[in-house]
A and B are shown apart, each in its own frame.
Chain A
């Protein structure tokens, strides 16, 4: 069973230079109790994907075609108030910078009460629940932490509080958008372990967005590789990291200094740049940077699936 099913999603932005196709025929499934990682470099459409699911696209952005099925409804068709019923309670988010998620002028207690506005519990019981959540994310002395304000906590603690708030309503889907980018390496690992632990306790699914390949390998069950608004490859973490099929995935993994175990002065790179998405792109989107580019790549490759491993590349037919 899938919690979220995105099918052939197309999102475009109206810009001064014409329409920018930010997402092109994107299909992603998030199975129940599963952590799905999305990797890709800047400009690949990771943020647009989240904003489309949450229906938080800016005014010049629109979902043109495609569906986002979640708990029997198509999120792409819902109106604002229906969406508000889903955000925060059924789908919640942890962002990159915890200060964006916390209100600097309200105490933690008040903010955690606000999140529970849908619940009919008494104020006392809600506070008890807040303390319980803070304890679960290992905030020391949660009773007194409630009375404090965001600036009194360190970066790692703030992100823990943001996670506690996101998990408070026990959502069916948690979207984590680069949740550890602002944190140091030792804290990063602690937050990843915490997310995994809470995810299995609450039994939710998670969409984990990151450019950090090591973290995705460690945390995720399934991985989606995006490039310039398209999904080039998706499959289990093992399939993607041990047996990548798409040339882009292969190059991307090579580029990570962590995968070069022997000391080298010269690190691999991917020459070229992401194509301008305001112009119509013919054929395979990775064509201009691909070392295997051939005549056939001028046509759009179809998505091929073998044992849950999906890939868009002509080379597989040869």
Chain B
């Protein structure tokens, strides 16, 4: 096991000093990741995906629980202890162009991880090797980020992430904002590198179709909690949490004749400042029952899949008629 996340909690303090409140952006999240495995985290905006990624990488202070990577604890407060770990755990940030300094040339950007970790190598040669690994011509080293297209900037992000031969890559929405043809290129590249280098990957996305193709296992997050997790195939075949089923039914398909049998949610996502009691999905759940109002469900199940729901759905379940 390369990464283990146990009961992870991240809290933010918000509001002015006279009305200080705490919100839990990530609430008791646990999962393990083994060597060579791809784990996807899906959920809508505000569900805590990115905060979780930052906490794993030691970029975000955690308020409870534990992250251990290669057997060592990751803690923000011990920056010196975390930095050597980051050599083996690299991060691809969400905005491809925004995560590259506009004043640095591509060559320097790709060489930056070596400089930061004080690894004396033939930098010019390394840059050329990495650029060819991500499928870019060597003369790109002299370009500036604004001269790159979105897909090329993404490739530079990948080159930086794999520069130090990491064990784990955390990719935060690696294909957001890319065209479909380029999206395939970036995903194939990540997948080839994963096979070549034996990488593990945490793949954060809101695109379920993409997750279906790239991930071995996945977790669905709602209001900072994992509501369903398991093997990707199993979750797609038989979504047991009403929220997962809703997400799956909402994804449009490029077929004009497809009959959409959608599960529609009545209200919007509740505020993290005002978490609902009981099951936190009960305010929107079409299958809601009496016990859901005050009894919180636990993440339960077997090896293949676990779900946090009092009445897990059967495959193909339809919402009961209203009223």
Contact = CB atoms under 8 A, between A and B. Distances in A.
Interface stretch (B53-61, B88-96, B157-165, B259-267): B259-267
A211 B180 contact: yes
A184 B268 contact: no
Given A265-B191, A267-B187, A41 B252 contact: no
Contacts of A263: 212-213, 232-233
A287 B247 CA distance: 39
Interface in A177-224: 184-186, 188-190, 192, 211-218, 220
Interface in B224-247: 232-233, 246-247
Contact of A255 (B180, B214, B256): B180
A241 B251 contact: no
A238 B212 CA distance: 26
A156 interface: yes
Chain A, interface size category, equals 35 or more
Interface stretch (A71-79, A111-119, A142-150, A268-276): A268-276
B149 interface: yes
B188 A267 contact: yes
B110 to A, nearest CB: 21
Given A185-B208, A218-B260, A255 B253 contact: no
Nearest to B267: A140
Interface residues of B, number: 41
Interface of A: 41-42, 154-157, 184-186, 188-190, 192, 211-218, 220, 237-238, 241-242, 251-253, 255-260, 263-270, 273
A260 B256 contact: no
B32 interface: no
A255 B213 CA distance: 12
Given A214-B253, A252-B180, A255-B184, 6 more contacts: A41-B179, A185-B250, A186-B250, A217-B252, A257-B209, A270-B181
Given A186-B44, A186-B265, A258 B254 contact: yes
Between A237, A255, A269, the greatest number of chain B beta carbons within 10 A of the residue's beta carbon is seen for A269
Contacts of B269: 154
What 4 A-B pairs come out closest when comparing CB atoms? A214-B252, A41-B179, A267-B184, A184-B44
